[in-house]
Chains A and B, each alone.
Chain A
Amino acid sequence: MRLNTDMAVNRIADEVWEIPPSEKSGMVVPARIYASETLLGAMDRGVFEQVTNVACLPGIQRYALCMPDGHWGYGFPIGGVAAFDRNEGVISPGGVGYDVNCGMRLIRTDLSLADVQPLLDRLMTELFRRVPAGVGSQGFVRLKRTEFADVMRHGARWCIERGYGWQRDLDCIEEKGCLDQADPSNVSDQAVTRGINQLGTLGSGNHYLEVQVVTDDGLFDREAAAAMGIEGREQIVVMVHCGSRGFGHQVASDYLKVFEKAMRRYGIHVHDQQLACAPFRSPEGQDYFGAMNCAANAAFANRQVITHQIREAFGSVFDRLPEELGMELVYDVAHNIAKVERYPEGELVVHRKGATRAFGPGRAELPERYRKIGQPVICGGSMETGSYLLVGTERAVRDTFASTMHGSGRTMSRGQAKRSVRGEALQREMKQRGIIVKAVSMSGLAEEAGLAYKDISEVVRTVDQAGITKKVAELKPIGNIKG
């Protein structure tokens, strides 16, 4: 098999490949890539370079990981996972990503395709109106700076107190939608100014809001699906993919500069400037952790406000209360974050960048309704091919620091996608296939065409066979909003 690397990549299980520390100077641990042969062969050179760069960072435990949707990123590859000793290890904005707590959210409904199809165009128009997307979009929530500090501290909980959601939503958000280590004093004024008007906005790039359908044939684990309120029978669900918008990006940019200087002071050398890091216990490391948690909370709040707007849109179009439509939150997962979690080695700072937490059954962190089945994992595919709902496993906790993939992963550049397809033509073709797309930017729409992404089924099959997540349901798009 030809790979985009000269390094030795050894197969250690059907879907697990290892690059030994001898392959690069400075590697402290091996690098492990989860992939089928097809996916590994398609991985770009950056994945191999970057995952082995991560394996060189101080305090890293066991191995640097890359998930099957992995591709080149900044510092860490997208799909990268690494855990560092809390006392001896580092924290790196490059291991979290610019869009702090970019994540996925899924909302179920009692509606069926037959209920929605006659009103789909009107529904998508209403969603497009209520959930701003694209360059410079601003939300309807207007905040004073003191109020935004409350958003930073309390995340989704702030939204519930303001009436943007239901109290029980909090149970179905990772960390109940609030990371309590958030410290607004570590956030710059610039970051606040960028973020203060963006609550309830999607952004652009690969972010989206999608109306999807779950058929009976798309159910793989009926017991787990039932626990999540997913019943098949052409049931309508709504998926949201977005993060902390300009606010999180400014936090990341601010601290990359801080860490570049700090590394000299701490004598840390990295292979890539974008891997700038500082000891987790250092003042710089703690400041970033406090600021990053603010951005993560803002992202939870962003998705919560969007959820409120989705419920309002459905309520308005179907002339019923969202509660009557059964619009319960299934789950909300972060896929760009660093968190302190306990493993056999002790307390570790687990970085997930384009990777999802995947706790198995029995974990106290999960709401009661999910303790038997494991944590819901929401995996977003391209707007043409569909998405998946899965559950975490004990094996993930054991083998991958409770982590799995987050999406399908790109295989084609944005420019190449735009040369391959025109936004207007794609929108027309998708409508003919029964998918209504509303987009702010037609060039942005072309960049997100299905042909630019890996085959999500192959990605999901890989993690399912590797046992680090199990398939529950396939979700097929019928409406999509893009920035």
Chain B
Amino acid sequence: MSYHITFPDDIALADMAFEAIANSPDELIRAATSAMIQSLADPTTIGRTWAHAVDRSANDLASLLFDWLEELVYLKDAHGVVFHDATLTLDRAPDDSAYRLHGWVHGEPVDPARQELRSDVKGVTKHLYEVKQAEGGWKARVVLDV
């Protein structure tokens, strides 16, 4: 694993933001996924009794990441679950036209008695949203509405 996640204070006063730095686009997706999972609950307190197949594509990495993070928020509410981890693979379509994300996200139904729940993230915002290739790797900045 070669990524770094921070939750800076000075981006979203009333909400939550994270920044991820990784060596590659697929590591960046994993980093941002981990940040989202950690925002919702302490993943070490969450089991793996529920799983959902991931299959998304988008023309660019920024759109793919945004849509995927939104899907996690949707899954949380639609299935009443929180997440332990996600095993994800990122590749390009044969003609390089799109990024494709495959894999599984694992978790279990919400149970406040056993789990350390954190923030009920309700939306992924475009405020200061950024995904870019920078010196030393790839960077993402995401502001979550809580």
Tell me the smallest distance from the CB of A459 to a CB of chain B, in Å. Answer: 15
Most buried by A among B10, B13, B16, B76: B13
Q: Which of A200-252 contact B (CB under 8 A)?
A: 203-206, 245-246, 249-250, 252
Tell me the smallest distance from the CB of B49 to a CB of chain A, in Å. Answer: 14
In this complex, what residue of B is CB-closest to A274?
B127
Q: Which of B118-146 contact A (CB under 8 A)?
A: 118-120, 122-127, 129, 143, 145-146
- Chain A residues with CB under 8 Å of B127's CB are 74-75, 272-274
Of B27-35, B77-85, B87-95, the one with at least 4 CB within 8 A of chain A: B77-85
Q: Could you tell me if B9 and A416 are in contact, using CB atoms closer than 8 angstroms?
A: yes
Indicate which residue in B13, B41, B70, B120 contacts A483 across the interface (CB closer than 8 Å): B120
Q: List the 7 shortest-distance A-B pairs measured between CB atoms, nearest first.
A: A136-B110, A204-B120, A246-B77, A413-B9, A194-B77, A249-B122, A415-B9
Indicate with 1 or 0, residue by residue over A411-442, a CB within 8 angstroms of chain B CB atoms. 11111100000000000000000000000110
Residue A137 lies at the interface, judged by CB distance under 8 Å to chain B: yes
Q: Could you tell me if B74 and A413 are in contact, using CB atoms closer than 8 angstroms?
A: no
State the CA gap A251–B74 with chains docked (Å): 12
Q: Could you tell me if B9 and A135 are in contact, using CB atoms closer than 8 angstroms?
A: no
Tell me the smallest distance from the CB of B81 to a CB of chain A, in Å. Answer: 7
Q: Could you tell me if B146 and A204 are in contact, using CB atoms closer than 8 angstroms?
A: yes
Residue B14 lies at the interface, judged by CB distance under 8 Å to chain A: yes
Q: Could you tell me if A136 and B82 are in contact, using CB atoms closer than 8 angstroms?
A: yes
Q: Which of B4-50 contact A (CB under 8 A)?
A: 7-10, 12-16, 40-41
Q: Could you tell me if B119 and A249 are in contact, using CB atoms closer than 8 angstroms?
A: no
State the CA gap A272–B127 with chains docked (Å): 8
State the CA gap A136–B81 with chains docked (Å): 6
Q: 25 A-B pairs, CB-CB below 8 angstroms? A: A46-B13, A98-B125, A98-B145, A134-B112, A135-B76, A135-B82, A135-B110, A190-B74, A190-B78, A193-B77, A194-B74, A195-B77, A203-B122, A245-B77, A249-B73, A273-B127, A413-B9, A413-B10, A415-B9, A440-B117, A443-B118, A443-B119, A444-B118, A447-B119, A483-B120
State the CA gap A440–B116 with chains docked (Å): 9
- Chain A residues with CB under 8 Å of B117's CB are 134-136, 440-441, 444
Indicate which residue in A195, A272, A273, A410 contacts B13 across the interface (CB closer than 8 Å): A410
Q: Could you tell me if B13 and A72 are in contact, using CB atoms closer than 8 angstroms?
A: yes
Q: Could you tell me if A135 and B123 are in contact, using CB atoms closer than 8 angstroms?
A: no
State the CA gap A194–B7 with chains docked (Å): 26
Q: Could you tell me if A44 and B82 are in contact, using CB atoms closer than 8 angstroms?
A: no
Q: Could you tell me if A256 and B82 are in contact, using CB atoms closer than 8 angstroms?
A: no
Across chains A and B, the number of contacting residue pairs, with CB separation under 8 Å, is 119
Known: A190-B74, A194-B78, A447-B119. 5 other contacts (CB 8 A): A134-B120, A136-B76, A137-B120, A272-B127, A414-B14
- Chain B residues with CB under 8 Å of A249's CB are 73, 122-123, 145
Q: Could you tell me if A444 and B119 are in contact, using CB atoms closer than 8 angstroms?
A: yes
- Chain B residues with CB under 8 Å of A135's CB are 40-41, 76, 82, 110, 117-120
- Chain B residues with CB under 8 Å of A193's CB are 74, 77-78
- Chain A residues with CB under 8 Å of B16's CB are 414
Q: Could you tell me if A136 and B9 are in contact, using CB atoms closer than 8 angstroms?
A: no
Most buried by B among A136, A137, A205: A136
State the CA gap A271–B73 with chains docked (Å): 27
- Chain A residues with CB under 8 Å of B125's CB are 74, 98, 274
In this complex, what residue of B is CB-closest to A419?
B9
Q: Which of A120-157 contact B (CB under 8 A)?
A: 134-138
Given A274-B125, A414-B15, A415-B9, verify A204-B110 contact (CB < 8 Å).
no
State the CA gap A252–B122 with chains docked (Å): 11
Interface range, B side: 35 or more
Tell me the smallest distance from the CB of A143 to a CB of chain B, in Å. Answer: 14
- Chain A residues with CB under 8 Å of B74's CB are 190, 193-194, 250
State the CA gap A194–B146 with chains docked (Å): 15
State the CA gap A305–B105 with chains docked (Å): 33
Which residues of A approach B to under 8 Å, CB–CB? 44, 46, 71-75, 78, 98-99, 134-138, 190, 193-195, 197-198, 203-206, 245-246, 249-250, 252-253, 256, 272-274, 410-416, 440-441, 443-444, 447, 483
- Chain B residues with CB under 8 Å of A73's CB are 14
- Chain A residues with CB under 8 Å of B119's CB are 135, 204-205, 414, 441, 443-444, 447
Tell me the smallest distance from the CB of B50 to a CB of chain A, in Å. Answer: 12
- Chain B residues with CB under 8 Å of A74's CB are 125, 127, 143, 145
In this complex, what residue of B is CB-closest to A202?
B120
Q: Could you tell me if B146 and A205 are in contact, using CB atoms closer than 8 angstroms?
A: yes
Q: Could you tell me if B118 and A441 are in contact, using CB atoms closer than 8 angstroms?
A: yes
In this complex, what residue of B is CB-closest to A256?
B126
In this complex, what residue of A is CB-closest to B111?
A136
Q: Could you tell me if B14 and A71 are in contact, using CB atoms closer than 8 angstroms?
A: yes
Tell me the smallest distance from the CB of A42 to a CB of chain B, in Å. Answer: 12
Q: Could you tell me if A136 and B77 are in contact, using CB atoms closer than 8 angstroms?
A: yes
In this complex, what residue of B is CB-closest to A276?
B126
Most buried by A among B41, B122, B129: B122
State the CA gap A249–B144 with chains docked (Å): 12
In this complex, what residue of A is CB-closest to B107?
A136
Tell me the smallest distance from the CB of B121 to a CB of chain A, in Å. Answer: 8
- Chain A residues with CB under 8 Å of B80's CB are 136, 138, 197
Q: Could you tell me if B77 and A198 are in contact, using CB atoms closer than 8 angstroms?
A: yes
Indicate which residue in B13, B70, B76 contacts A71 across the interface (CB closer than 8 Å): B13
Given A71-B13, A413-B10, verify A98-B110 contact (CB < 8 Å).
no
Given A44-B13, A136-B76, A415-B9, verify A98-B122 contact (CB < 8 Å).
yes
In this complex, what residue of B is CB-closest to A247?
B77
Q: Could you tell me if A413 and B12 are in contact, using CB atoms closer than 8 angstroms?
A: yes
- Chain A residues with CB under 8 Å of B109's CB are 136
- Chain B residues with CB under 8 Å of A415's CB are 7-9
